[in-house]
Structure 1
Amino acid sequence: MKRTIGVVEDDPNIRNIVTAYLDKEGYQVEALDTAEKAWEYFQQSPPDLWVLDIMLPGIDGYEFCKRIRQTSEVPIIIISAKDEEVDKILGLELGGDDYLTKPFSPRELVARVKRQLKRWSAMQPEGKESEPALIKAGALSLNETERNAYFHGKEVEVTTKEYDLLKILAQQENRAYSREELLLKVWGDDYFGSDRAVDDLVKRIRKKMKDLPLETVWGHGYRLRSSRDSS
């Protein structure tokens, strides 16, 4: 079965080039020029991955990304003419899985599409009837099947990156991870932004889970302290 890629780009030249390269690789492409049209398409037939421009007429890419993340964890690759670090961080924090700055090589985009789809496939459960895989660390529980997070028995809404960071820390309690390690594990080896993204992610997690023993290891990174609290 062909994988479907949703391309949201208002520049017809870029849209056509991206569509042509993805089509050549055997993907089914749905090319759209506004986020409004993309949202309608998503509600009817969600794709396997989004290639999303940020600067769109009407609803911009940031807002569209937020809407998608409310109901879906499907990979999103953000493309933008903005090369500022703050824009990259914002895009990734809102749920983007990768970020490409214009002008970019269509071949590089195709490579990143393949990488994200491979990663997404590896995260999916093999059978719907299988028992959910649980990761527990004190009051924190992570449901690997549904990628849901629970704290003190209550579900907490987390983004893709927040979940990935929690999973890494929860799997090895008390281990101190450097910011560089976390950046590599959560964002991948092709992310070139600042490790400040890790600090911002930790800040948001702490805000959502007030007494989570997520500690700062000064001058190094972070660790999740083991806890006897199993409630």
Structure 2
Amino acid sequence: MNYHIGVVEDDPNIQNIVMAYLKKEGFEVTLSDSAEKAWEVWENRKPDMWILDIMLPGMDGYEFCKKIRNESEVPIIIISAKDEEIDKILGLELGGDDYLTKPFSPRELIARIKRLFKRSAPRIDAENGDKEIIKTHHLEIYIEERRIFYKGKEFDVTTKEFDMLLFFTQNINRAFSREDLLVRVWGDDYFGSDRAVDDLVKRLRKKLPDLPLETVWGYGYRLRDEEEAE
């Protein structure tokens, strides 16, 4: 599949480097030097992923991320010279799927892009094409379609929200540390803070407030069996 990636960046040097690497990998690229222009791109031909700078003229990247998330769960990788933990947490809270601090390796960016596309792509049972579904009382996860139903209602989730929820449902009642969850959901090459785990759990609890996703104090989190939790 020829993925279309929208790049929102106002630095000409970074524009050229990112464009060159993305095109070398076979991606179709649309470049915008402001969030306002990027929004016009979104309204006319929606990219399959956004590479988004935070510090932009006019509307900043945070606001653009928030606007996109109001309409879609398309993957978003935030790139920024702001490397404070609070900036990373804010970007993830607003719906970013990943966060890279400038200066970054273009190869690392490509690796993260491929990993996000791999996780967000539907998975098909090669043997018989049957749908693979995980059911745990009120929760149903359609793995190939990457759809979540809770108490009969479908909920939109981001790529990492889906990955975390799928992992928990495959390990009911088992507690995992924040470090374990970083590796399982973000990958063992992720170097961000484990606060990203707390933020993702917070987002899942907000979307699914009745889900028994429990804090294991001083350790991490677990998803309880709903019959035990009731």
* TM-score past 0.5 threshold: yes
* AA matched with 1:147: R
Q: Deviations over 1:172-219 (max 9, x none)?
A: 211112211111122222322222222232233334433322222233
* AA matched with 2:16: N
TM-score, with structure 1 as normaliser? 0.84
The change in CA–CA distance for 1:209 and 1:113 in structure 2 (over 3 A counts) is closer
The change in CA–CA distance for 1:211 and 1:48 in structure 2 (over 3 A counts) is closer
* AA matched with 2:115: R
Moved more, 140-149 or 215-224: 140-149
* AA matched with 1:135: I
Q: Deviations over 1:112-132 (max 9, x none)?
A: 3333333333x45589xx665
Contact 1:73 1:160 in 2 (8 A): yes
Say how many residue pairs are matched: 226
The change in CA–CA distance for 1:116 and 1:205 in structure 2 (over 3 A counts) is closer
**CA displacement at 1:82 relative to structure 2:** 0.4
Match of 2:53 in 1: 53
Q: What CA RMSD, in Å, does the superposition of the two structures yield over aligned residues?
A: 2.6
Separation in structure 1 between the aligned mates of residue 210 and residue 194 of structure 2, nearest angstrom: 24
**CA displacement at 1:145 relative to structure 2:** 4.3
Separation in structure 2 between the aligned mates of residue 203 and residue 188 of structure 1, nearest angstrom: 20
The change in CA–CA distance for 1:110 and 1:215 in structure 2 (over 3 A counts) is closer
Separation in structure 2 between the aligned mates of residue 139 and residue 170 of structure 1, nearest angstrom: 12
Separation in structure 1 between the aligned mates of residue 63 and residue 125 of structure 2, nearest angstrom: 32
Q: Report SS of the residue matched to 1:135.
A: strand
Contact 1:93 1:161 in 2 (8 A): no
Separation in structure 2 between the aligned mates of residue 5 and residue 170 of structure 1, nearest angstrom: 31
Match of 2:202 in 1: 203
Q: Where do residues 17-166 of structure 1 align in structure 2 (5 Å cutoff)?
A: 17-121=17-121, 123-124=122-123, 133-166=132-165
The change in CA–CA distance for 1:192 and 1:24 in structure 2 (over 3 A counts) is same
The change in CA–CA distance for 1:118 and 1:164 in structure 2 (over 3 A counts) is closer
Match of 2:224 in 1: 225
Are 1:16 and 2:16 an aligned pair? yes
Moved more, 198-207 or 47-56: 198-207
Identity %: 66
Q: Which consecutive residues of structure 2, in runs of 5 or more, have no partner in the other structure? A: none
**CA displacement at 1:81 relative to structure 2:** 0.7
TM-score, with structure 2 as normaliser? 0.84
Separation in structure 2 between the aligned mates of residue 28 and residue 204 of structure 1, nearest angstrom: 31
* AA matched with 1:181: D
